[in-house]
């Protein structure tokens, strides 16, 4: 278990140089970064269709066990999120936007699944994705801080590529 080469014999020696008592020393240019996984909750996602424009909002207070999440940016999103699904029956260009949230910092993300690490586009109040394949996608609206939670409007437009 862990990092191995194709023969499953080298372990971390491919990345790390040298050993220390009860540990290892990182080679020059290597770093280890740990992220606490933010568990995106897709149960109860609101279905959207091309052409929809609806009012919604981030839930408050946040669900129990909410962790900060990262999507397509280096920013950590610690507010409650609102999750939507978008089903496409053919390849389309997607344009989505959020509005009506004033000075609060909300961002919109397009995910290839219900997994924050499967981020395709986003990190602002609008997003565009060209020639996306048919399938089910996840749209997430999230804020940087709990103070950013609240109502917003979301719209989705789809056009043939």
Confidence of residue 73 (pLDDT cuts 50, 70, 90): confident
Rounded to two decimals, the pTM is 0.74
Name the residue among 76, 43, 82, 89 with its Cα closest to residue 60: 82
Q: Specify whether domain 46-159 bears CATH 3.40.50.10540.
A: no
pLDDT at position 21: 41
Could you give the 3-state DSSP secondary structure of residue 11? Answer: helix
How do 82-88 and 53-57 pair as beta strands?
A: unpaired
Distance CA 129, CA 109 (A): 11
Top pLDDT among 125 and 26 is at: 125
Share of the chain above pLDDT 90, in %: 53
Going from N- to C-terminal start, the domains of the chain cover 1-33, 46-159
> Out of 17-31, 95-109, 132-146, which region has the weakest mean confidence (pLDDT)?
17-31
Q: Which residue has the tokens 């990190």?
A: 123
């Amino acid at each position: 278990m862990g990092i191995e080469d194709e023969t499953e014999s080298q372990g971390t020696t491919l990345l790390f140089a040298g050993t220390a008592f009860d540990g290892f020393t990182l080679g020059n240019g290597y770093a280890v970064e740990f992220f606490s996984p933010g568990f995106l909750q897709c149960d109860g996602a609101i279905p959207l269709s091309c052409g929809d424009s609806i009012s919604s909002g981030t839930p408050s207070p946040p669900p129990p066990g909410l962790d900060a999440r990262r999507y397509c940016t280096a920013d950590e999103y610690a507010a409650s999120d609102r999750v939507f699904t978008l089903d496409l029956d053919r390849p389309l260009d997607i344009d989505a936007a959020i509005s009506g949230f004033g000075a609060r910092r909300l961002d919109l993300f397009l995910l290839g699944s219900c997994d924050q690490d499967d981020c395709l586009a986003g990190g602002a109040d609008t997003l565009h994705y060209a020639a996306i394949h048919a399938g089910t996608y996840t749209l997430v609206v999230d804020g940087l801080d709990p103070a950013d939670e609240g109502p917003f409007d979301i719209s989705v437009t789809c056009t043939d590529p």
